[in-house]
Amino acid sequence: MSNIQDKVVIITGASSGIGEATAKLLAKKGNKIVLGARREERLKEIMKDIDTEGELAAYQVTDVTKHDDVEDLAKLALDKFGRIDVWINNAGLMPHSTFDKLKVKEWERMVDVNIKGVLYGIAAALPSMRERKSGHFINLSSVAGHQTHPGGGVYSGTKYAVRAISEALRQEEAVAKSNVRVTIISPGAVATELPNTITDEDLKQGINQLYEAVAISPERIAETIAFAIDTPSDTTMNEILLRPTVQEV
Ligand code: NDP
């Protein structure tokens, strides 16, 4: 496997955390990056860091809960760089709460971003990948996509769903012999803005303490994603589950 990559990579949720770290690392490795998220100022700052000339990267303000926005992001990649090699469904939020708090709006938001956002990403990228008989989806699930705990029911539900969707897509593309690869990335605690979405005061402090005690840097996940991309095309990392060494569950 080489250190040089030359792929067109689209990243949703590229304005912070894992998406930002991945955009920066993959740009450094020679890939062309298309960034999508809602916070334009953040995207502009990241663009400055990875591509001062605007030739190797592009961004578009994207809300992954809007199908048209996600289609437009794919169109930007196709218009500017001519293809989509890798689509990283990374945008997500984690407003943990126990069910008795009835935070129905937050449940809906998690379903919209964490599940429907991934489906819109698949819809936007799969046709051109099928046509070229080449492509790679990288979908962010979580350790929470393997196990759950009080307060994490809806978030876990969305991350279990990401794994189910990804596995069925993988099977379909294998049958179709489309050469479209699917990789699930399932991290444990990573030091990002993710816990900031928690509004349940009974849970917030404990989760922040856990993150402060064990979380690893988002660069670790970026390196893992780069590794999955770099695997020779006849082989796919179907899922990579990774945790901080000191994280128990
Ligand atoms: P961050 O909060 O740092 O990043 C989340 C990203 O998602 C931001 O760029 C945000 O951008 C974007 N986002 C949120 N809502 C939308 C939306 N409607 N449309 C487009 N983009 C959106 O967290 P992480 O980097 O940690 O999270 C990235 C992924 O990793 C998530 O799917 C998360 O579930 C997963 N993950 C994270 C773990 C962790 O411990 N940090 C562990 C396991 C999985 P903006 O607000 O600008 O739109």
At 238-248, the pLDDT tens digits run: 999 999 999 99
Do you know the residue count of the chain? 249
Catalytic annotation present for 120: no
**pTM for the model:** 0.98
- Of the listed 59, 120, 155, 160, which one is catalytic? 155
Position 204: which residue type? K
Tell me the average pLDDT across 224-236. 97
Q: What residues does 239 pair with on adjacent strands? A: 184
Q: How do the domains of the chain map onto residue ranges?
A: 8-241
Tokens of 192: 């990002």
Whether the per-residue pLDDT at 14 is higher than 80: the answer is: yes
Using pLDDT thresholds of 50, 70 and 90, give the confidence band for residue 53: confident
Using pLDDT thresholds of 50, 70 and 90, give the confidence band for residue 55: confident
Q: Domain 8-241: which topology?
A: Rossmann fold (3.40.50)
What does each C-alpha distance from 227 to 22, 153, 204, 220, 236 come to in angstroms? 11, 31, 33, 11, 11
Q: State the closest ligand 1 atom to the C-alpha of 215, by its place in the atom list counted from 1.
A: 40
- The finding on whether 93 has its CB within 6 A of some atom of ligand 1 is yes
